């Protein structure tokens, strides 16, 4: 139950921070998508730093990495998992990245099509 609570609390805080980035970008005359870039790149940096330091307990990792940073950006978690695989095998890591991108995009297009969307360039 502690782990579930840690993930839920971290996830709530990460989602609020991500939304804050979205809200604040217009004040700096930045496009709305800039908030997403900030969240994703900051999340990548923080997850790399935390992983590199290796100082978190299991519960702390669930709160910070899975909950907070996972909610701030799934992109950072994606990058971290690829890095974990890179520590084992370059081929495995490369396959994970490329396979995830291709499969994810293909499923996005499939979902769009099944949802009734029409691509204008086809």
Please, which pLDDT band fits residue 91 given cuts at 50, 70 and 90? Answer: very high
Q: What burial class does residue 103 get, using C-beta atoms within 10 Å of its C-beta: 0-12 exposed, 13-18 middle, 19+ buried?
A: exposed
Residues 94 and 102: their CA atoms lie apart, in Å, by 12
Whether pLDDT at 110 is above 90: no
Show me where the domains of the chain are located: 2-88, 94-122
Whether pLDDT at 121 is above 80: no
Query: 24-50 pLDDT, tens per residue?
Result: 999 999 887 788 888 888 888 888 888
Query: According to the model, what pLDDT value does residue 31 have?
Result: 82
Entry pTM:
0.70
Whether pLDDT at 86 is above 90: yes
Sign of CA dihedral 21, 100, 52, 8: positive
Query: According to the model, what pLDDT value does residue 108 have?
Result: 81
Please, which pLDDT band fits residue 17 given cuts at 50, 70 and 90? Answer: very high
């Amino acid at each position: 139950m502690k782990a579930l609570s840690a993930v839920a609390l971290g996830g709530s805080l990460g989602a609020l921070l991500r939304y804050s980035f979205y809200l604040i970008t217009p004040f700096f005359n930045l496009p709305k998508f800039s908030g997403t870039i900030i969240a994703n790149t900051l999340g990548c940096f923080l997850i790399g730093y935390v992983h590199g330091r290796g100082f978190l307990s299991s519960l702390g990792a669930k709160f910070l990495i899975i909950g907070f940073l996972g909610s701030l950006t799934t992109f950072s978690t994606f990058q971290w998992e690829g890095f974990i695989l890179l520590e084992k095998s370059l081929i495995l890591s490369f396959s994970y990245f490329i396979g995830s991108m291709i499969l994810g995009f293909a499923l996005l297009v499939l979902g769009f099509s099944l949802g009734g969307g029409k691509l204008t360039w086809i």
